[in-house]
Structures are given as structure tokens and as C-alpha cells.
């Protein structure tokens, strides 16, 4: 048995109407993805403030993923369009500051895409695991 194997901490923000339901569907279909992913339910991807993303990294997250309805399918019609611009710019800025761009991701997952949700999380966890611990945006005071 391996000990001290690196287990990344992943925060997933999921919109209530599509992606959270997609995550539920992944569960209903018993599609496995790593327990490292913990989901926070938000009404819409546009509720995700860049501050939340930074907060997660500060508190020791190794990856942050935001999932919402596909563009054009937003429950609130336009929320994910704003989220798309905000997150694109935020991620670009993090990359500009030399923070590994693979630690952040936006993925559109509909309520019917349980399989996509599981596959996305498997892929994201694998990517972040390969990167290892988040060192560049950590807050040492929050480390245990």
C-alpha cells in the first residue's frame, strides 16, 4: 500500500441547474471519479467571484474548476456568458503571474451529461495530480 501519495484538493463550483444536476447524474449512474473533488453548489456560474477562486487556493486547494450550463442554455439566460468572460480573464491573469494555468478550468456540463462530468473530473484530477501541490498561490499560514 502506498502512503503519502499526493492527493490534490479540488474545489468544484457547480451551477444548480445544469452542472450540479450533471454531478448528481454521474452519481445516479455510479460513474466513479476521485473523492478529491468537492462540490460547492451555486445558483449560476456567474455567482463565482474571482475572490472565491483565490480563496480556495489560499486555503490549500490545488485546483479549482467551475462548471455551468452550456453557453446558450443558462437557466438565467445570460449568466454563463458573463462567467465565461470573467474566468477567461482571471485565468489569463493567473497564467501571466506564472501560476500554472492547468490548475484552473471552466467546463460546461449539462444536467444530462453525467458521463461528461465524471470524465471531466477524472481528467482534471489527473492533471492537477501531475502538477503536484499548489505552491505558487499558497498561504503558508493556512497550511497544516
Partner 1 sequence: MQRIGVFVCHCGTNIAGTVDVKAVAEAMKYENGVVFSTDYQYMCSEAGQNIIKDAIKEHKLTGIVVCSCSPRMHEATFRKAAQSVGLNPYMVEIANIREQCSWIHKDMATGTEKAIILARTAVAKVHLNAPLTSGETPVVKRALVIGGGIAGIQTALDIADAGFPVDIVEKLPTIGGKMSQIDKTFPTLDCAACILTPKMVDAAQNENIKIYSYSEVSGVKGFVGNFEVTIKRKARFVDETKCTGCGLCTEKCPQKRVPNEFNLGMDQRRAIYIPFAQAVPKIATIDADYCTMLKTGKCGVCSKVCTAGAIDYTQKDEFITEKYGAIVVATGFNPIKLDKYDEYAYSQSKDVITSLEFERLTNAAGPTAGKLLRPSDGKHPHKIVFVQCVGSRDTRECGKSYCSKICCMYTAKHAMLTREKYPDTEVYVFYIDVRTPGKNFDEFYRRAVEEYGVHYIKGMVGKVIPEGDKLIVRASDLISNEQLTIDADLVVLAAAIEPDKTARPLATMLTASMDTNDFFTEAHPKLRPVESPTAGIFLSGACQGPKDIPETVAQASAAAAKVIGLLVKDKMKNNACVAHSDENMCNGCSNCAKVCAYNAISYVDKEFRMPDRTTRVRRVAVVNDAVCQGCGACTVTCPSGAMDLKGFSNKQIMAEVDAICK
Partner 2 sequence: MQEVMKNKAKELLASGEVRAVIGWKKGEFCYDITPAVFTNAEEIDNGFIYDDFCGANLSKYLIKEAHKDGKVLVFLKPCDTYSFNQLLSEHRINREKVYVVGVSCDGKVDIEKIKRTVGDGIIALSSDGDKISVETLYDKYEINRADALAERCVNCKSKKHVAYDELLGDEGEVLDSKRFDEVEMIENMTADERFEFWRNELSRCIRCNACRNVCPACSCEKCIFDNDNSGYVNKAPVTSFEENMFHIIRAFHVAGRCTDCGECSRVCPQGIPLHLLNRKFIKDINTLYGDYQAGEDPEARGPLTSYTEKDPEPSVVTDKE
Q: Kindly list the residues in this chain that would bind partner 1 in the complex (CB under 8 A).
A: 9, 11, 16, 20-21, 23-28, 30-33, 35, 38-44, 46-52, 55-56, 59-61, 72-73, 75-79, 82, 86, 118, 142
Selected from 7, 29, 43, 93, the binder of partner 2 by CB under 8 A is 93
Which residue is listed with cell 485546483? Answer: 63
What stretches of 16-91 adopt beta strand conformation (E)?
37-42, 63-68
Nearer to partner 2, 3 or 97 (CB): 97
Which option in partner 1, partner 2, none does residue 70 bind, with CB closer than 5 to 8 A by kind? none
Q: What's the rounded Cα separation, in Å, for the pair 127 and 113?
A: 21
Give CA angle at 101 (99, 51), nearest 5°. 70
What residues form DSSP beta bridges with 15? 42
CB of 27 or CB of 70, closer to partner 2? 70
Amino acid at each position: 500500500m502506498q502512503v503519502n501519495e499526493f492527493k490534490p484538493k479540488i474545489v468544484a463550483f457547480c451551477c444548480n441547474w445544469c452542472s450540479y444536476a450533471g454531478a448528481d447524474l454521474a452519481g445516479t449512474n455510479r460513474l466513479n471519479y476521485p473523492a478529491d473533488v468537492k462540490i460547492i453548489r451555486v445558483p449560476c456560474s456567474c455567482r463565482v467571484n474571482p475572490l472565491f477562486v483565490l480563496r480556495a487556493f489560499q486555503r490549500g486547494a490545488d485546483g479549482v474548476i467551475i462548471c455551468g450550463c452550456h453557453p446558450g442554455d443558462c437557466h438565467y439566460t445570460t449568466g454563463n456568458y458573463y462567467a465565461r468572460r470573467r474566468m477567461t480573464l482571471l485565468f489569463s491573469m493567473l497564467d501571466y503571474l506564472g501560476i500554472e494555468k492547468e490548475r484552473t478550468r471552466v467546463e460546461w456540463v449539462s444536467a444530462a451529461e453525467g458521463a461528461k462530468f465524471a470524465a471531466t473530473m477524472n481528467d482534471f484530477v489527473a492533471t492537477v495530480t501531475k502538477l503536484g501541490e499548489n505552491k505558487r498561490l499558497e498561504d503558508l499560514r493556512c497550511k497544516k
